[in-house]
Structure 1
């Protein structure tokens, strides 16, 4: 299999993983999602993918956090996770890790800053649009993940040139996501929560992006 065939083969999985991370950070996890992760071994299947990407350490942490939910009665698990979601992402900046680029890239830490406007222009330039029910600012972490997922799908459908597309995606990750994602992840680790789900997911997401960028780099320099 040549590198172009590998690119085509990997693209659907890359898109699916970016979409998965977008969904994870867009809203608190539901009881149905938890049941799927725990009872139907849905996360075990994902874990195998993450292991194949060299992310076993980070995915093991997520698996352990999922298993630790057993300490709570089943009817309370979604409630505890909703409380953690609010604690990590929704409180004031000093007590949480806001999932918005503007918070980390603006000197005043105000939301709706330049990154939100830049994302709007990028969406327009790529002819991409967000779901109308997603009411968060354009620089929400989930938007960056969904943009990558949609972009990858577009590259498949339109058979975009591989090397140029890989370089464009590297540039996007460097200038729009990796310039603040490590700060976000670090903050997530410092917040006092009852479960390790969201801090673990943040660490896994950051490493996935780093590994994906490295894969793109190997295409560009090959």
Structure 2
């Protein structure tokens, strides 16, 4: 159980990291941190997994290119706005409702489903983040909290139920639309930083789902 709980902490941190990247633009200070040994070490650790290597290498390559990009923080903020904050036809909007039709839904619209699930679990996100509940950053933040909450369990049977619940969330609330979102990022993100992050997110969700399903 202790090994599972330790691994859960790592999984939650990774989902929260992805959530932070899709919730707001990176500041100068945050961008500098991405060139630090700590963050580079974290990414190198992910790349050691064969199923994550290609996508992680793409993120590292984008970070290397950022070091030579003039006004990197401003330009990256512009990329964020053009991709995620506009209704332009070249945007890659981070909302499940953009990508899901009625045949893929469980009980209604994605934002309503997500809001109901958050209420059911008693998990709230930052009230200052004024976005619908089907925003990618909210879903990832919720999943991180769901994982950490399972670490309060003491019986293996209860943990198995919790892990199955997490796997179902990944399959039903993320992998139903995030791959298409990633494709849009790749199509419209000319510089490629957010496209590489989205690609890594898909790879990690698929890997995590397989782990939870004991594949």
Normalised by the length of structure 2, the TM-score is 0.90
> What is the aligned partner in structure 2 of residue 154 from structure 1?
149
Aligned pairs (5 A) from 1:187-206: 187-193=184-190, 195-206=191-202
Q: Say yes or no: does 1:87 pair with 2:105.
A: no
In 2, are the aligned partners of 1:100 and 1:140 still within 8 Å (CA)?
yes
Separation of aligned partners in 1, 2:116 and 2:184: 28
> What is the aligned partner in structure 1 of residue 121 from structure 2?
126
CA pair 53-145 structure 1, distance change in 2 beyond 3 A: farther
> What is the aligned partner in structure 1 of residue 45 from structure 2?
49
TM-superposed deviation, 1:19 = 0.6
Aligned positions, number: 207
**CA deviations over 1:48-106 (Å, ceiling 9, x no partner):** 33124431211111111011012223xx1110001111121122252111000011114
Aligned residues: CA RMSD: 1.7
Normalised by the length of structure 1, the TM-score is 0.87
In 2, are the aligned partners of 1:47 and 1:56 still within 8 Å (CA)?
no
> What is the aligned partner in structure 2 of residue 62 from structure 1?
59
Could you list the structure 1 runs, at least 4 aligned residues long, displaced by more than 4 angstroms after superposition: none
**CA deviations over 1:174-195 (Å, ceiling 9, x no partner):** 11111001110011111052x2
| DSSP-derived class of the 2:67 partner | helix
Separation of aligned partners in 1, 2:141 and 2:21: 11
In 1, are the aligned partners of 2:11 and 2:144 still within 8 Å (CA)?
yes
